Amino acid sequence: MKGTVLTSIKENIATLTFGHPASNSFPTELLDRLIENINRLSEDSSIQVIILQSEGDKTFCAGASFDELIAINNLEEGKQFFSGFANLINAMRTCSKPIIGRVQGKAVGGGVGIIAATDYCFATEKADIKLSELTIGIGPFVIEPAVTRKIGIAAFSKLSLDATEWHSAYWAKENNLYARVFENTRDMDAYVESLSKKLASYNPDSLKAMKKVFWEGTENWKTLLIERAEISGQLVLSDFTKEALQKFKK
């Protein structure tokens, strides 16, 4: 039940694939492994482009592990738990290579944060999104900077306050989370492969410099996202959240 992170490399393009039996959700250990792989590829001079994707054909990512969330007993544990996605977003942000997102299915919570932290993202019609954190008494505090950076505060407000509603892949495209939406994975994969090969043929120094330009103004995120993790770490200990989480206990 720990999940997998697999890396394949072909023609200067690295494809990172994560997976977990629970709808591609992330326990802390799996997050750490994904971060380690991104950091390693960032330092690999033979890699020009990274494609980030998940296993299966239904769910891109269901966010953080509910089993671990339910088990939090104190502030330090809470802060550490929510720092997982903070560290992942920061690893994607500081990675020296452009990261292309391939989203084949639905994304919830931290999964939406991963999508927002890619540099260029493509999806199928099945790739609806939802931020449901408010329904359990916390909020999408850690991923907010990444999501707002892509879709703006008005769309983020709608997404976070409509916490029980799915927003379609086309809504996400209209609000700049996705660059293009495809009818099926076959067409998406063909496009992603073609684009990645083009990018891999460009001057690597230019790509590296462009990556820095994309993320200008986010230099404080290393501190900011950990501060946001502490907010969620406090809220998860509230009576409201503990009661809301009871229905998820196995």
Burial of 96 (0-12, 13-18, 19+ CB in 10 A): middle
Q: Look up tokens 């995120």; give the residue.
A: 221
- Cβ atoms of residues 205 and 98 within 8 Å: no
Question: How does pLDDT run along the chain (250 residues), one tens digit per residue?
Answer: 689 999 999 999 999 999 999 999 999 999 999 999 999 999 999 999 999 999 999 999 999 998 899 999 999 999 999 999 999 999 999 999 999 999 999 999 999 999 999 999 999 999 999 999 999 999 999 999 999 999 999 999 999 999 999 999 999 999 999 999 999 999 999 999 999 999 999 999 999 999 999 999 999 999 999 999 999 999 999 999 988 888 776 5
Would the pTM of this model clear 0.85, i.e. be above it? yes
Among candidates 226, 201, 31, which has minimal Cα distance to 111? 31
